[in-house]
Structure 1
Amino acid sequence: MKFSPLTYPFELPPEPGRLIEVAPGISWFQMPLPFALDHINLWALDDDDGGLTLIDCGVADAVTRQLWTALLAGPLAGRPVRRLIATHFHPDHIGLAGWLAERLSVELTATLGEWLFARMLWLEDSPAYYTNQTEFYRRLGLDPATCATISRRGNSYRPRIDPIPVRFLGVEDGAVLRIGGRDWRAIVTAGHSPAHLSLHCPEAGVLISGDQVLPRISPIVGVWPQQPDENPLAPFLAALTRLEALPEETLVLPSHGLPFHGLHPRLADLAAHHGERLDRTRAALDRPATTAEVMRTLFPRAMDPSQIVFAVGETLAHLAYLVERGEVHRESAAGGVWRFSRGGA
């Protein structure tokens, strides 16, 4: 069967509290999010003996708890949950993991990198954490007022998280999970998060892609205060190439947007998007510039502090990629602020 670049077998998402079967034994439901990106897709897989495997959780807030309570008393009633899987550590994916794991008497399944990062950020409240945040954004060239505003936000991760479970079941790249009589292969990738988990079932022809592949937006690939010298764009682009090995006819179940066919064109689109960003980054370095100055070229619109955090992190990711390739040189200017210029050291 041939598909045009992207086709959508479902025109509309499920209504709140409702499930849609997207493939035999695979159901789709949504939770709202209190962000500009206003929803997350969650998945329920038929498992052994009438049970279920649930994938991703939603953010920890009262609305999401109420919807889960209604689902578990309604469409999911009487079906024991065998597994609770989180694709990665971001709040919309793992936020309610602790609450659900306790309520359902089930262990959380995740990659080690995602559980560790989630647990660390949820526990983090040390003075050194806030000092590092402020120093990181100052080094990127943000003005003192913006740095102060970001600092006052504190640890914005914690309020959106129910306690991260103290234990979990680990899954590694290439592992095969047997769910409802079918094999699901774990595909672990880096870039958007430390060890993002996608799941591919060849028999069903389905890829649960998490945030790795989305139909209409590019997942954030950024550098953050905990790893200021990281180059996350390189493994993200490598993951796109790796996913090209999956069949073209794969049904992609993303965490945001509608399920779609057209995996290969979408992978090409995402690679081209970052290629264009890299070209604009190079062009912005017609003279030495800070990360914040390059950011204003890549993201010229007005932004609030939360948006600035994401934009400057993504800008630095593209700069770091070019630094590692030897196309751009980074040096510390007055006060330790990083400045970037074209050409190697």
Structure 2
Amino acid sequence: MADGVSISEGGIEPGAEAPRGLVYPMGAAPLLGEAVEAAAGVLWLRLPLPMQLNHVNVYAIADGDGWVVVDTGIRTSEALAGWEAALAGPLGGRPVTRVLCTHMHPDHIGLAGWLCERFDAPLLMTQLEYVTGRMLVSDTGPAPEAGAIFWRAAGWSEDQVEHYRTSYGRFAKGVAPLPAGYQRLSEGQTLSIGGDVWTIVIGNGHSPEHACLWRRSDGVLIAGDQILPRISSNISVWPTEPLADPLHDWMTSLERLGDLLPADTLVLPGHGEPFTGVLPRIEALKRGHRVSLTRLERTLRTPSRAVDCFGALFARPVDGGLLGMATGEAIAHLNYLAGQGRARRDRDAHGVDWWSLIETETPA
């Protein structure tokens, strides 16, 4: 984790210690339209994002006479220009044979439909990621009243709730129309790419059913946003599932990945640089959230709204552009504590939720 508040998938993370025990073997990141060989047969490319987190990594795996592309960038003219340069340059004019998306956030699926149509290539995703992505692309408004109720309960002002209404439907703007069909990825499934075997490893919490690709033969993991080197993936609750507990899913996934992956795994992440040191990184991610939960419990000794919890979770003030992600992450931590029997929520007559700590007696 980086010190302070960091951007990840449009989200923010609690302040925590800088990552230790990580090695970055690749050197400088590729420039737009260029590529770096990150592992045998795997090219690392980088595309721009129109936000504070200004890049996303995508990968091209050699597949016979073509390439399997993993993640695609967001739909912008700059990202399209990057793809055109890469296709004509380091990808050598060879076709894309398959498009695989780790998860459904716009910076990962934004140009999947464009690539699939251009090369008549199939789209590979897990079921929940594909279905959720299709739903969000088509859900352009008007804003449902349930969303206004959700944000008001978290402590938003009426002006902030009105901004939610007027800005609703932005997801679709960053995503080209997705193919009408797809090929499902599942936990433990293997794919043959360029004569190598890649195993699908599923994670949860950051998104519903996030797919990673693991080449066991040489310990390469294309991790998407499931394990990032410098920032922690946004873990949020959204109005579509207000009682969800994604932080529990996230922590459970990290435990599983820590047991599964060898210490010398080379991680190719969705943001940041390829790195080794996956086990200390997983421990740091878990520790960061545990520290945040401890701070949050101290805050809840006084009844608090979700928006009152930002100081316990984030190391700098939250501005308007990050309000939704900060609120979603705060509710994720609150729902986690509620699920553990450590916090309770009471809604007042104005529809605002007040959270308080459930004190446990210390044995004599």
TM-score category, normalised to shorter length = over 0.9
Q: Secondary structure at the match of 2:132?
A: helix
Corresponding pairs, count: 340
User: What is the CA–CA distance in structure 1 between the aligned matches of 2:116 and 2:101, rounded to whole Å?
Assistant: 11
User: CA deviation digits over 1:280-333, x for unaligned, max 9?
Assistant: 110110111111111244236333333010101000000000000101111222
- TM-aligned CA deviation for residue 23 of structure 1: 1.2
Offset at 1:247?
0.5
> Does structure 1 retain, via aligned residues, the 8 Å contact 2:35–2:90?
yes
Q: Is 2:205 the counterpart of 1:191? A: yes
1:323 aligns with 338
Match of 2:276 in 1: 261
Distance of 1:292 and 1:214 partners within structure 2 = 26
8 A contact 1:192–1:220 mirrored in 2? yes
Contact 1:214 1:254 in 2 (8 A): yes
Q: CA deviation at 1:45?
A: 0.6
The two structures, once aligned, show a CA RMSD in angstroms of 1.5
Q: Is 1:157 aligned to residue 195 of structure 2?
A: no
Kept after mapping to 2: 8 A contact 1:87/1:110: yes
Matched to 1:122, the amino acid is V
- In structure 1, the residue matched to 2:30 is 14
Alignment pair present for 1:311 and 2:326? yes
Matched with 1:229 is 243
Paired position in structure 1 for 2:50: 34
Contact 1:277/1:298, CA 8 A, preserved across alignment:
yes
Cα 1:304–1:156 shift into 2, 3 Å: farther
What is the CA distance between 1:132 and its match in structure 2? 2.4
User: In structure 1, what is the Cα distance between the partners aligned to 2:315 and 2:271?
Assistant: 25
Contact 2:61-2:69 within 8 A present in 1 as well: yes
What residue is the counterpart of 2:4 in the other structure? none
Match of 1:203 in 2: 217
The answer to which of 249-258 and 151-160 deviates more is: 151-160
Mean Cα displacement is larger for which, 133-142 or 215-224?
A: 133-142
Name 1:71's counterpart in structure 2: 86
Per the alignment, residue 175 of structure 1 pairs with 189
Counterpart residue identity of residue 310, structure 2? M
Within 2, Cα distance between the matches of 1:304 and 1:156? 19
* SS of structure 2 residue aligned to 1:45: strand
Q: Which residue of 2 aligns with 1:212?
A: 226
SS at match of 1:36: coil
Hey, what's the Cα distance between the residues in 1 that align with 2:312 and 2:276?
Answer: 33
Aligned counterpart, 1:299: 314
Show CA shifts across 1:54-96 (max 9, x none): 1000000111111111222222234222210001011100001
Flag as ranges the 4+ runs of structure 1 deviating above 6 A: none
SS at match of 2:345: strand
Q: Which has the higher contact order (CA 8 A, sep 6+)?
A: 2
1:132 and 2:143 matched: no
Classify the secondary structure of the residue corresponding to 2:170.
coil
Q: Kindly provide the amino acid, as one letter, of the partner of residue 22 in structure 1.
A: A
Distance 1:312 1:304 in 2: 11
**Structure 1 unpaired stretches of 5+:** none
How many Å apart are 1:344 and its aligned residue?
Answer: 7.8
Q: State the one-letter code of the partner of 1:138.
A: R
Asked if structure 2 preserves the Cα contact closer than 8 Å seen for 1:134 and 1:151, the reply is yes
Checking the alignment, whether the CA contact within 8 Å between 1:149 and 1:305 is kept in structure 2 is no
Q: Which residue of 2 aligns with 1:238?
A: 252
Q: TM-score, normalised by structure 2?
A: 0.90
| Equivalence for 1:142 | 156
Distance 1:193 1:237 in 2: 13
Distance 1:132 1:296, change over 3 A: farther
Match for 2:165: what amino acid? S
SS in 2 for 1:335: coil
Gapped regions of structure 2 (runs ≥ 5): 1-19
Q: Percent identity?
A: 38
